[in-house]
Every structure is written in C-alpha cells, then in structure tokens.
C-alpha cells in the first residue's frame, strides 16, 4: 500500500495545495476502505469487502498519479504491471494452508516500502516538499520520517521472522534471549532518543547523517528481537499485531508525503489491526502490553513439551467406530484446528459433514478465535471447502450447545479444547476461553499420536475422559476412512 502512494510529490504537492476534487476522491477511497473492513469481518461478505478494497485502492492510485508530477510515467506503469503479475501469480498458486505465511510476507513488504520512502525523503527532501525557506527539513517532517522508518523497519524484520516460523523454515518454538525485555526496552529508548536528537540537530551538522541510519538499524534489530521469543501457538496475535504496525508505518509516511489517502488508509489498517489484536489477546488470556513487549507466550508456552508425562489410560478407536457413532447421533459439532490445515483435510471433512446431513444428522462447525495461524484461518479453509456459512459458529455462539450435542468431533485442535484452561491455575493457558467439549456425550479426537502435546506444551485431560475415543492417524486419512465407512 505504501509503495503505491509513494511517488515523490512536487514542491507544492502537499495537502494544502491538493485540488478539491482530489480530496473528495481520497475521501471516497477512504469510504471504500471502511466498507472493505466491514465486509471482511464475515466470510459471507468477504468477497464484497475485497471488491470494495480494490475499488478504493484503484481510486486512490489514479488520483495520486493525476495530481502529482510524475518524473517517468513509463517507469511507474512498468512497476504497476510487474506488481500485478506477481500478485496474480501468487494468488493463483498459493495454497489456502499457506495463507498465514503469505500474509506475513506481504506485511514485510509494506514495512520495507515505508523504510525506502522514508530514506528517499531524507536523501531528497526538496522533491517531497518537506523543506523550509532555508532548504532544511522541517522539524515535524523529521519526526514523521523517524517514526515512519522505525515502525516500517520493525514491521519488516518482525514479519520476516513470522514468515520463517509460519512456513517451517525456522523453528516455531520460542527462542529466549537472556534479559530480552531489558534489551528491547533499551533499544526502543535508544530509537526514540535518536529521533529526538535528529529532530533538533542542525541540517548538515556533525553526525546528523548517521542518526537516521542508526534509527533504521536499531529498528530492524528490535523487530527481530520482538518476534523470535514468540511460539507458534501465539502466531495469530503476532500476524494481527504486525498488520497494525504496517498501517501505522503507512500513516506516518502519509504525513511526510502530504497524502491524505495514505493517512486515512494507514490509520484504518493500524487501528483495526490493534482492535483485532486486543480481541485476540482476550481470547487467549494475554495482556495486550505483553504482546507489544514481545515474548508474551514464551515463558510458559512450549516449555513442557519435552517433559515426560504420566502414562494414563485412554480409549482408541477406528474410522468404522467413529462412522457408526456419528451416523447414530442427532447432532454433531466439529472443531477444526491447525492439524486440519496441515493435513489439508477440509474438503473431505465437508464431504463427511454432507453425508451425515443426508442421514438426518445436524452438523455444525465451531471456530475458536485463535485456531490456526492467523485470524480467520479456519474460516478461510472451510469456505474454500464450500462449507455453508450458516453452519459455522464462533466460540461464544456455540459453546453452550456442547452439553446437548451427541458428538464433539475434534480434528487437529488441542489447546482450544483443553479444560485445564478453566481449572488449573498453574497451567500456561489458564483463563483462556475454550470449548466445553468435556460436556458432550461422546468425543472423537483425531490426533497423529499420543506422544505430542499442543503448542502450549501441556497435556490435555480430554484425551482420557471416559466418553473420549482417540483416532490416532493423519487427519485427512482418518476422515477419508470415516467417509468410506459411512458409504
């Protein structure tokens, strides 16, 4: 988004000299962006939301190109064409299971664009119309430059680490550095101090040229330091948080460029991402401040995963057992998790649901706010498999129904159904809202093996409940077996 609006403005190209019709066009683009966010809040309206976002972006882009002096329109056109080719290619080839790392990758590009635009404005401020009568960069523009570059650099390096973790190119386990909070706070304080010194330093003064470079380097470092202590289970909040950062970086650059569209769009993305992060923190019983500080899930998350666990008796079943009980049930609630995404079992799961409905069974899908690796991950996968929207329910809307349902069918989820979150104050997930599957009459739990635990690193009492039958296998293969048995 930043790169689209980052064409250098002419000396009079700030907001004060923008034509009235252009301001109205930017306002209309902002309205379309708001409608896009509203549409993306629900799978049923997400297509309309995407369309509104594209209309708003096209309107803002055309307005910017028309109202600014473009040094070389051919180069701009080539850049747009290359970006379109990359976007179409990625959209056609990317698997839905790879969407989280794709989102993280795109966030990194937004952050990098903010850094590049900020450095360009610093090197050639006259082209951006941010100089005073003496030819020096305005003090307010220096603050905007410093903040925009810092937030953009944090977004870039943090998103790169998130991409590596989500794509499996880097371990998803938390990487703990000794004294990391002190290091993070010290680095952040240094960035703020350097921006302050840069703001008041005389143009061309001794060392002035190195201040903004130091800000950039330190911001790249803190982005890296903030994300490496965060484990895979907390990645949905991380992706949402980085989305917010990218918006604020764009808004800061919008002030520097005097571009109303960037300010409006950046503020919308930043505020909506922050609100979503807050909502998800509540869903995980996390502190919003601890998210910003980094490593919020590290001290307890994943730490117990390698410890020996008490061997407790459990019941193991087969696809045929599950098929028999499922077709005898009156109501079934399916709880998908990241394991379903890894196995790419969403299509065969929908087929199983359709067969059960043909036999008169009521089928519903329950989605936890932090299931998967990004906000809405499970909703996207179920929508890809053509699961009807009216059969998909959020936690607060369906949790009360588990006490009346005949079968809770868990596929690839773990921590979001762990009753320890309600009963064990020593558990790292204590206080996190979870599905009340322990109240269901029958529970089928698809899991690769009993050897692993969830990303929180704790055992799950649901495995050992008298009404639970463990289906130990690859999720897709197990559901295919159940579908075959239903036939």
286, 323: one domain: no
Q: Which is the catalytic residue, given 234, 415, 438, 459?
A: 415
What does the pLDDT read at residue 85?
Answer: 93
What is the CB neighbour count within 10 angstroms for residue 331? 18
Higher pLDDT, 220 or 301: 220
**Closest Cα partner for 368 from 456, 460, 432?**
432
Q: Does one domain contain both 97 and 234?
A: yes
Residue 124 placed within a domain: yes
Distance of CA 161 to the CA centre of its chain: 13
How far, CA to CA in Å, does 18 sit from each of 13, 24, 114, 141, 163? 7, 10, 22, 18, 39
Mean pLDDT across 185-195:
91
Q: What is the pLDDT of residues 232-247, one digit of tens each?
A: 656 777 888 888 888 8
Among 223-232, 310-319, 380-389, name the one with the lowest average pLDDT: 223-232
| Residues 387, 277 within the same domain | no
Any domain includes 62 = yes
Say if pTM beats, i.e. exceeds, 0.85.
no
| One domain, residues 284 and 352 | no
What is the CB neighbour count within 10 angstroms for residue 136?
A: 15
Rounded CA-CA distance 21/324 in Å is 67
- Domain span at residue 398 reads 319-486
Q: Looking at the structure, do residues 279 and 396 belong to the same domain, yes or no?
A: no
User: Which is it for strands 407-411 and 331-336: parallel, antiparallel or unpaired?
Assistant: parallel
Say if residue 199 is in the same domain as residue 334.
no
pLDDT in tens, 270-319: 898 888 888 777 766 667 676 666 554 444 433 333 444 556 788 999 99
166 belongs to a structural domain: yes
Dist CA 323 CA 225 (whole Å): 48
Select from 293, 327, 344 the last residue of a domain: 293
Query: Residues 236, 325: one domain?
Result: no
Residue located via tokens 């799961």: 349
**What is the count of structural domains for the chain?**
2
Strands in 331-336's sheet, in edge-to-edge order, are 392-394, 362-367, 331-336, 407-411, 442-447, 468-472
* Tens digits of residue pLDDT in 387-403: 998 999 998 899 999 99
In-domain check, residue 311: no
- What's the CA gap between 146 and 195, in Å, rounded? 6
Same domain for 22 and 86, yes or no, is: yes
For the domain that residue 385 is a member of, what is the CATH number? 3.40.50.1220
Active site residue 69: no
307 lies in a domain? no
Total Cβ atoms within 10 A of residue 485: 17
Residues 239 and 343 reside in one and the same domain: no
Helix, strand or coil, per DSSP, at residue 411: strand
Distance of CA 348 to the CA centre of its chain: 26
Instruction: Let me know whether 165 and 39 are in one domain.
Output: yes
Q: Is the domain of 346 the same as that of 273?
A: no
My answer on whether 375 and 263 are in the same domain is: no
Which residue is associated with the tokens 């001794």?
A: 206
């Amino acid at each position: 988004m930043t790169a689209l609006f980052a064409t250098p403005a002419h000396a009079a190209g700030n907001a004060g000299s923008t034509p009235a019709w252009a301001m109205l066009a930017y306002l209309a683009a902002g309205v379309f962006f708001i409608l896009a966010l509203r549409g993306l809040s629900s799978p049923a309206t997400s297509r309309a939301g995407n369309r509104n976002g594209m209309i708003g972006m096209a309107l803002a882009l055309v307005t910017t190109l028309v109202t600014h002096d473009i040094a070389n329109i051919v180069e701009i056109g080539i850049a747009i064409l290359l970006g379109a080719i990359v976007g179409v290619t990625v959209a056609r080839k990317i698997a839905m299971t790879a969407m989280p790392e794709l989102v993280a990758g795109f966030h990194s590009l937004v952050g990098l664009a903010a850094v590049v635009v900020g450095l360009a404005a610093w090197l050639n401020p006259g082209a951006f119309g941010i100089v005073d009568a003496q030819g020096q960069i305005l003090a307010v523009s220096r603050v905007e430059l410093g903040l925009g570059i810092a937030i953009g650099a944090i977004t870039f390096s943090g998103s790169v680490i998130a991409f590596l973790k989500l794509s499996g190119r880097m371990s998803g386990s938390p990487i703990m550095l000794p004294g990391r909070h002190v290091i993070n706070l010290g680095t952040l304080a240094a960035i703020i101090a350097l921006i302050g010194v840069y703001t008041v330093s005389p143009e061309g003064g001794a060392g002035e040229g190195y201040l903004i470079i130091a800000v950039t380097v330190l911001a790249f470092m803190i982005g890296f330091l903030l994300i490496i202590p965060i484990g895979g289970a907390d990645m949905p909040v991380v992706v949402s948080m980085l989305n917010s950062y990218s918006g604020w970086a764009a808004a800061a650059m919008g002030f520097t460029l005097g571009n109303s569209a960037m300010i409006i769009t950046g503020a919308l993305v930043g505020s909506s991402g922050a609100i979503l992060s807050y909502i998800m923190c509540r869903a995980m019983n996390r502190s919003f401040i601890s998210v910003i500080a980094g490593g919020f899930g590290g001290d307890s998350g994943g730490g117990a995963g390698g410890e020996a666990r008490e061997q407790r008796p459990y019941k193991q079943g087969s696809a045929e057992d599950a098929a028999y009980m499922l077709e005898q049930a009156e109501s079934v609630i399916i709880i998908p998790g990241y394991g379903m995404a890894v196995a790419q079992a969403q299509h065969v799961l929908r087929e199983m649901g359709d067969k059960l409905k043909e036999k008169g069974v009521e089928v519903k899908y329950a989605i936890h706010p932090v299931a998967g690796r990004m906000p809405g991950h499970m909703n996207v996968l179920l929508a890809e498999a053509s699961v009807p929207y009216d059969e998909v329910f959020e936690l607060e809307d369906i949790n009360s129904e588990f006490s009346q349902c005949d079968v809770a069918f868990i596929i690839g989820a773990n921590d979001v159904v762990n009753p320890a979150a309600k009963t064990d104050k020593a558990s790292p997930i204590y206080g996190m809202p979870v599905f009340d599957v322990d109240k269901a009459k029958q529970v089928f739990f698809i899991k690769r093996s009993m050897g692993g635990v969830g990303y929180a690193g704790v055992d799950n009492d649901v495995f050992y409940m008298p009404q639970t039958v463990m289906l130990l296998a690859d999720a897709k293969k197990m559901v295919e077996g159940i579908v075959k048995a239903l036939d």
